[in-house]
Amino acid sequence: MNSTTTTPVVSVTEVTKCFGSVRALHDVSMTVNSGEVVVLLGLSGSGKSTLLRHLNGLERPTCGAVDVLGQTVPKLRPTALRALRCRVAMIFQQFELVPSLTVLENVLTGALGRLRGPRLGLWAYPKALRVDALRRLERVGLLDKAYQRADELSGGQQQRVAIARALMQNPQVLLADEPVASLDPESATQVMDLVREIAAADGLTVVCSLHQVDIALGWADRIVGLRRGEVVMDTKAANLDKAQVMQVYRDLAPGPDVDLDAELVSAGLVSAGYSVSGPA
Amino acid sequence: MTTHTDTSAAAPGEVDVVTRAPRRRVAVDKIAGLGLIVAMLAFSVHALSRLDFSWSSMRSSMDTAVTTFSRMDPISLPPAGDLVYLIGLTVGIVVLGTAMAAVISVPVAWICAANTSPSPWLRWVGRAIGVITRAVPDVVLAMAFAMAFVLGSALPGIFALGIHSIGMISKLFADAIEQSDDGPRQAVRAAGGSRAQEFWAATFPQVLPSWIATVLHRFDINLRGSAILGYAGVGGLGYAMRVAFQQFPEGYGRGLGIAIVIFVLCVVLEIVSSTIRRHLLGTDPAGRGLGGRIVRVATGDRPARPAGGRLTAFVQRLGRRPSSADGPVGTNRTAPGFVRRLLPRHRDAEVSVEAMLHRPWTGSRVRNLVWVWTAVALVVASFWWADVNASQITWDYVLPTVQSFWPPSYGSHSFGEFAQAMLITVEVAFAAAGLSLVFSVVFGALAARNVAPTPGVRQFFRVVLVVFRGVPELVLAIFLIMITGLGNQAGVIALAFGGVGLLGKLVADSFEEVPRGLERAVTATGATRTQRFFSSTWPVGFPALVSNSLYLVDTNIRAATILGIVGGGGVGFYITQASTVMSLHGQVTTLVIMIFVTVLLVEAISTWLRRVFR
């Protein structure tokens, strides 16, 4: 750990997000320091993806503040937002490659933020960028697949292409939204190892949503647990074991006879004095 | 818990379960929907009966036909050189018109599609453009534009097709965008891409195959409709046919000859384009049809290979031979230079960034390149053949022509007269659609893979439908009107004929789209073929059948309008009268608004019914 670990790269302050009458996030606060690898854990619908999507401005909070790399994301004008997105790469559960394009062209789309105007076809990208893209592909071990169609690749390979596309942005922050949820265990391990390796080599800050506790425990520096849009756990991964983390998945119904805070404290998930419903 | 095997408790359980079960709710909207469908069917029967298909009128028209045939010259063709020129001119005008519409449709579709549109009000603008351009028949546009161009120029025809086709093309383009996966767009957005970059990098590659299919489809429609442009003075086969038919009886032989040429041209190009479309969309993996064979002969492709054609196989074979030898260095040495350039390096040890800088010439790349350049060559050739240039525009008349359409007026006619004409047109449309529906359900079902008793039957009815679809219904209408001396009756028969081709195909496709698993589940319960059809295929396919039938009514209304131009009645008659004289253009606007409202009504009914029978 070096001195940069104390600089907050991401800071989310009391963010609430409502989709119509549905409250996806409720009063969420969280910070991520430079070079840190953080996993967001929680059930489907707990708000992990929504929180991630706030970090690059794909969603705007109903109230609260989101600061990434020193910029207040919800307040950015389109051009500035795009400039920020260039530095914050994202990979997705469904990879989100264009199936009919070649692998290389998919990787090149990662450079669009730096380029002006629309691009279609390999020839539309400068040669230097094409070389760059091939280097990224080499890094994820798929150089030989450069000219195959994206949909001819296996799921694990497609996610590696998506990582190469993310690397094309030369990002400082990498957001990963359930990157291995659609993969078999072996490909999942490969992809997670690759992300960790690249994060270490490039000093990337990583925020990754997952729901596999086993993968998260051995992989993350820190684990943030979400339940029903609220942060219910925020602990260094080294201090946790599986039984403790599983508490995040217990769908406790906060009723008049259940003292949620006390239960969480007794389960060792949060420190004493923590309040789920926030201060006041 | 009571189960069926538990006989002692079954009887009281049954009573119990009936009382406990929720009451079946009467779905008012479904009953209303069924009522509406029955009413529309009744209207089309009524319309058919009003059109006088009695024996006596049939007999007298047969007599007219016999007389005509006996008095006309033998069927003949123009000299070969003229014929080639006319075919080239017609195809060229259609290519340019369709291409123009396709280009304009891209931004229109982009603002129309819910998932790419920048703002809701732009969506409405886009939709308005689509509906308005579709409501004005191309031939009316061509007549109205005639003043703004030099006499004999192909431009009025090109512009007419180019503007009229925007409606359908942009609608189908927008549908394709809405069906495309949103994920890649999001990925580009997350990488800092702009809206334009999102579109070209993520949306366009996804929708391209479907867009090409749409354009080809529209090309067929335009080609079939192009003959009618001759009645607006646009050169080509249609004009030549019209001139021939004006000389009774001696020109009829020549006219019929040209009509036959148009028929053959349409059927052939329909087969070619439907085959290309099928290849693009991959809906017919077998590709054993007649058209499939023709295109395979032309492209040297084989159906069994999924990716790439012979060349891929060739390159792969070359690739395998040297790599069977040991050592990566040896591999490159043994392969000749051009092969080394052709080969994608498959083994990690050989792969380097420098080597991968050049995209290998795989079969699919070669084929794509050939297709692209063929398309470009076709457009360039069309420009040259149709002899199009900007000096043919008489700029002085452009603005007055546009202005002459406003305000709408009734001229010397009244609203009642126009409404009466509109009713006749709607009757013709419904009568034809009703006839088409009966035949389409039978033909379409037999052409569906999952309904047809044998693959042979399916193949036979597919070919029948292609031939029906390829027949230009308006040329058929002209032909029948000329021969039988009848007006709208002949038109109904012609429209019904073309309708079977279109609706039958749509019915077949919608049946084939019924999920296989569903039918298998029904089969697994021990159901017969017929049971399977009525309990899984029909209920799933029914909503599509309803909306496709109404789509046919919609296209028929437009086609029935045009019938007035070639000798039928209805609004087309009044439009033809008014569109050739600039001072009467206000009436054209009035009539177009009436068509527009009618078509919107049909579309609203269709949307509602689709929602009810979802």
> Do both B52 and B132 map to the same domain?
no
CB contact (8 A) between residue B187 and residue A85? no
Mean pLDDT, residues B8-21: 64
Among B342, B375, B395, which residue terminates a domain?
Answer: B395
Which range (B194-203, B389-398, B480-489, B575-584) has the least confidence?
B480-489
Confidence band, pLDDT 50/70/90 cuts, at residue B12: low
Sole residue written with tokens 């058209």: B291
Concatenated DSSP letters of chain A: --GGGGSEEEEEEEEEEEETTEEEEEEEEEEEETT-EEEEE--TTSSHHHHHHHHTTSS--SEEEEEETTEEGGG--HHHHHHHHHHEEEE-TT----TTSBHHHHHHGGGGGGS-S---SGGGS-HHHHHHHHHHHHHTT-GGGTTSBGGGS-HHHHHHHHHHHHHTT--SEEEEESTTTTS-HHHHHHHHHHHHHHHHHHT-EEEEEE--HHHHHHH-SEEEEEETTEEEEEEEGGG--HHHHHGGG------TT--HHHHHHHTTSS-TT--TT---
**How many other CB atoms sit within 10 Å of the CB of residue A77?**
8
- B78 Cβ contact partners less than 8 Å away, ≥ 6 residues apart: B86, B240, B254, B257, B258
Quote the CA–CA distance of B308 and B213 in Å, as a whole number. 20
User: What are the boundaries of each domain within chain A?
Assistant: 8-240
**Residue B611 placed within a domain:** no
User: Which residues on chain B are in Cβ contact (under 8 Å) with A110?
Assistant: 191
Q: What is the pTM of this model?
A: 0.77
Q: Which residue of B has its CA nearest to A80?
A: B192
Given this model, what pLDDT does residue B348 score?
47
Q: At what angle do helices B204-229 and B80-112 cross, to 10 degrees?
A: 140
Q: What is the maximum alpha-carbon separation in chain B?
A: 94
Cis peptide before B205 (omega within 30 of 0): no
Asked if A64 and A16 touch (Cβ cutoff 8 Å), the reply is yes
Question: Which of B183, B190, B345 has its CB closest to that of A94?
Answer: B183
Tens of pLDDT along B316-358?
A: 444 333 333 333 333 333 344 444 444 444 444 467 888 888 8
- Highest mean pLDDT: which of B87-96, B231-240, B306-315, B588-597? B87-96
> Do both B459 and B550 map to the same domain?
yes
Chain B contact probe: residue of A49, A112, A158 with most B CBs at under 10 A: A112
Residues 327-346 in B contacting A (C-alpha not used; CB under 8 Å):
344-346
Structure tokens at B465: 């439908």
User: Which residues on chain B are in Cβ contact (under 8 Å) with A98?
Assistant: 184, 201-202, 205-206
Q: What is the overall mean pLDDT for chain B?
A: 81
Q: Where are the beta strands (DSSP E) in B465-532?
A: none
Which of B441, B582, B586, B594 shows the shortest CA–CA distance to B508?
A: B441
> Do both B373 and B497 map to the same domain?
no
CATH (one of 3.40.50.2000, 3.40.50.300, 3.40.50.880, 3.20.130.10) for A8-240 = 3.40.50.300
CB contact (8 A) between residue A85 and residue B359? no
Higher pLDDT, B16 or B218: B218
Amino acid at B466: V
User: Which residues on chain A are in Cβ contact (under 8 Å) with B344?
Assistant: 144, 147
Asked if A101 and B202 touch (Cβ cutoff 8 Å), the reply is no
Quote the CA–CA distance of A278 and A27 in Å, as a whole number. 7
- According to DSSP, residue B230 is labeled G
Mean pLDDT, residues B579-597: 86
User: Which residues on chain B are in Cβ contact (under 8 Å) with A68?
Assistant: none
Given this model, what pLDDT does residue B333 score?
37
Q: What is the ipTM of this complex?
A: 0.81
CB contact (8 A) between residue A58 and residue B193? no
Chain B contact probe: residue of A97, A98, A127 with most B CBs at under 10 A: A98
> Do both B178 and B210 map to the same domain?
yes
Given this model, what pLDDT does residue B267 score?
86
Question: Which of A56, A102, A112 has its CB closest to that of B188?
Answer: A112
Quote the CA–CA distance of B205 and B197 in Å, as a whole number. 12
In Å, how far is A245's CA from the nearest CA of chain B? 30
Given this model, what pLDDT does residue A271 score?
53
Question: Which of B184, B189, B344 has its CB closest to that of A147?
Answer: B344
Q: Is B356 an interface residue toward A (CB < 8 Å)?
A: yes
Q: Which residue segment(s) compose the domain that B32 sits in?
A: 25-71+427-560
Asked if B37 and B546 touch (Cβ cutoff 8 Å), the reply is yes
- Within A47-154, residue ranges assigned H as helices are 48-55, 78-87, 103-108, 127-139
Give SS3 for B602.
helix
Q: Is B183 an interface residue toward A (CB < 8 Å)?
A: yes
pLDDT at B221 over 80: yes
In Å, how far is A171's CA from the nearest CA of chain B? 9
Asked if B438 and B499 touch (Cβ cutoff 8 Å), the reply is no
**Residue B350 placed within a domain:** no
Structure tokens at A262: 């006390």
Mean pLDDT, residues A92-114: 91
pLDDT at B6 over 60: no
In Å, how far is A206's CA from the nearest CA of chain B? 15
**Residue B606 placed within a domain:** no
Q: Which residue of B has its CA nearest to A166?
A: B191
Strand partners, A30: A12
pLDDT at B1 over 50: no
Quote the CA–CA distance of B279 and B337 in Å, as a whole number. 34
CB contact (8 A) between residue B199 and residue A118? yes
Mean pLDDT, residues A26-49: 92
Higher pLDDT, B479 or A49: A49
Which range (A76-80, B26-30, B148-152, B310-314) has the least confidence?
B310-314
Mean pLDDT, residues B558-587: 83
Quote the CA–CA distance of B218 and B166 in Å, as a whole number. 10
**Residue B84 placed within a domain:** no
Q: How deeply is A201 buried, as exposed, middle or buried, from its count of CB atoms within 10 A (0-12, 13-18, 19+)? A: exposed
Helix (H) or strand (E) holding A60, with range, is: none
Quote the CA–CA distance of A19 and A17 in Å, as a whole number. 7
Question: Which of A58, A117, A131 has its CB closest to that of B186?
Answer: A58
The CATH number of residue B62's host domain is 1.10.3720.10
Asked if A41 and A208 touch (Cβ cutoff 8 Å), the reply is no
Helix (H) or strand (E) holding B368, with range, is: helix B363-386
User: Which residues on chain A are in Cβ contact (under 8 Å) with B205?
Assistant: 98, 100-101, 120
Q: Is B202 an interface residue toward A (CB < 8 Å)?
A: yes
Higher pLDDT, B315 or B35: B35
Antiparallel, parallel or unpaired: β A205-210 and A173-177: parallel
Tens of pLDDT along A210-243?
A: 988 888 988 999 999 998 899 999 999 888 888 8
pLDDT at B179 over 80: yes
In Å, how far is B366's CA from the nearest CA of chain A? 13
Tens of pLDDT along B234-275?
A: 888 999 988 888 887 778 888 889 988 998 998 888 888 878
Structure tokens at B609: 């019914």
Q: How deeply is B37 buried, as exposed, middle or buried, from its count of CB atoms within 10 A (0-12, 13-18, 19+)? A: middle
CB contact (8 A) between residue B187 and residue A118? no
Among B344, B375, B395, which residue terminates a domain?
Answer: B395
- According to DSSP, residue B213 is labeled H
Strand partners, A144: none
Asked if B476 and B498 touch (Cβ cutoff 8 Å), the reply is yes
Helix (H) or strand (E) holding B179, with range, is: helix B166-179
Mean pLDDT, residues B25-33: 85
Structure tokens at B181: 């996966």
pLDDT at B117 over 60: yes
Given this model, what pLDDT does residue A268 score?
53
Tens of pLDDT along A234-254?
A: 999 888 888 888 878 776 544
CB contact (8 A) between residue B205 and residue A112? no
SS3 content of chain A, % helix, strand, coil (to 5): 40, 25, 35
Given this model, what pLDDT does residue B157 score?
92
Which range (A162-171, B3-12, B204-213) has the least confidence?
B3-12
CB contact (8 A) between residue A143 and residue B186? no
Given this model, what pLDDT does residue A253 score?
47
> Do both B62 and B98 map to the same domain?
no
Asked if B557 and B601 touch (Cβ cutoff 8 Å), the reply is no
Q: How far is CA B109 from CA A207, B127, B163, B604, in A?
A: 37, 9, 14, 20
Number of domain units in chain B: 2
Given this model, what pLDDT does residue B327 score?
36
Question: Which of B183, B307, B359 has its CB closest to that of A96?
Answer: B183
Which of B274, B299, B269 shows the shortest CA–CA distance to B284?
A: B274
> Do both B113 and B169 map to the same domain?
yes
- Highest mean pLDDT: which of B120-124, B353-357, B448-452? B120-124
Which of B189, B324, B467, B16 shows the shortest CA–CA distance to A78?
A: B189
Quote the CA–CA distance of B210 and B496 in Å, as a whole number. 28
Structure tokens at B590: 């009035």
pLDDT at B208 over 50: yes
Quote the CA–CA distance of B404 and B414 in Å, as a whole number. 20
pLDDT at A66 over 90: yes
Q: Is B184 an interface residue toward A (CB < 8 Å)?
A: yes
Quote the CA–CA distance of B52 and B491 in Å, as a whole number. 13
Which of B422, B24, B187 shows the shortest CA–CA distance to A110?
A: B187
> Do both B44 and B186 map to the same domain?
no
Which of B232, B11, B226 shows the shortest CA–CA distance to B141?
A: B232
> Do both B225 and B119 map to the same domain?
yes
Asked if A217 and A237 touch (Cβ cutoff 8 Å), the reply is yes
Question: Which of B204, B346, B362 has its CB closest to that of A120?
Answer: B204
Chain B contact probe: residue of A60, A144, A149 with most B CBs at under 10 A: A144
Asked if A48 and A209 touch (Cβ cutoff 8 Å), the reply is yes
Which range (B41-50, B68-77, B297-306) has the least confidence?
B297-306
Tens of pLDDT along B44-64?
A: 999 988 877 667 777 787 888
> Do both B431 and B368 map to the same domain?
no
Helix (H) or strand (E) holding A252, with range, is: none
Quote the CA–CA distance of B367 and B312 in Å, as a whole number. 10
Which range (A75-89, B123-137, B395-409) has the least confidence?
B395-409
Residues 172-191 in A contacting B (C-alpha not used; CB under 8 Å):
175
Mean pLDDT, residues A18-40: 93
- According to DSSP, residue B345 is labeled P
**Residue B589 placed within a domain:** no
> Do both B143 and B216 map to the same domain?
yes
Quote the CA–CA distance of B341 and B322 in Å, as a whole number. 14
In Å, how far is B606's CA from the nearest CA of chain A? 30
User: Which residues on chain A are in Cβ contact (under 8 Å) with B194?
Assistant: 82, 112, 118
Q: Is A60 an interface residue toward B (CB < 8 Å)?
A: no
Q: How far is CA B62 from CA B56, B343, B486, B491, in A?
A: 10, 68, 10, 15
CB contact (8 A) between residue B202 and residue A169? no
User: Which residues on chain B are in Cβ contact (under 8 Å) with A56?
Assistant: 190
> Do both B251 and B134 map to the same domain?
yes
Q: Is B189 an interface residue toward A (CB < 8 Å)?
A: yes
For chains A and B, CB pairs below 8 A equal 120
Among B536, B560, B584, which residue terminates a domain?
Answer: B560
User: Which residues on chain B are in Cβ contact (under 8 Å) with A133?
Assistant: none
Mean pLDDT, residues A68-75: 92
Mean pLDDT, residues B499-504: 91
**Residue B233 placed within a domain:** yes
pLDDT at A26 over 90: yes
Amino acid at B459: Q
Cis peptide before B407 (omega within 30 of 0): yes
Quote the CA–CA distance of B492 and B560 in Å, as a whole number. 8
Question: Which of A115, A119, A134 has its CB closest to that of B357?
Answer: A134
Which of A110, A111, A113, A67 shows the shortest CA–CA distance to A92?
A: A110
- B389 Cβ contact partners less than 8 Å away, ≥ 6 residues apart: none
Question: Which of A90, A95, A135 has its CB closest to that of B190?
Answer: A90
**Residue B7 placed within a domain:** no
Q: What is the overall mean pLDDT for chain A?
A: 86
**Nearest 5°: CA angle at B221, between B557 and B262?**
110
- A144 Cβ contact partners less than 8 Å away, ≥ 6 residues apart: B344, B345, B346, B347, B348, B351, B356
In Å, how far is B345's CA from the nearest CA of chain A? 6
Question: Which of A85, A135, A144 has its CB closest to that of B345?
Answer: A144
> Do both B264 and B391 map to the same domain?
yes
- State residue B248 phi and psi, 5-degree precision: -100, 135
Tens of pLDDT along A106-116?
A: 999 999 988 88
**Residue B33 placed within a domain:** yes
Residues 78-137 in A contacting B (C-alpha not used; CB under 8 Å):
82-86, 88-90, 92, 94-102, 104, 109-115, 117-120, 122, 127, 130-131, 134-135
Mean pLDDT, residues B564-581: 81
- A132 Cβ contact partners less than 8 Å away, ≥ 6 residues apart: A111, A168
- Highest mean pLDDT: which of A86-90, B254-258, B564-568? A86-90
Quote the CA–CA distance of B296 and A122 in Å, as a whole number. 29
Residues 153-172 in A contacting B (C-alpha not used; CB under 8 Å):
162, 165-166, 168-169
Asked if A206 and A199 touch (Cβ cutoff 8 Å), the reply is yes
Q: Percentage of chain B surpassing pLDDT 70?
A: 85
CB contact (8 A) between residue B187 and residue A144? no
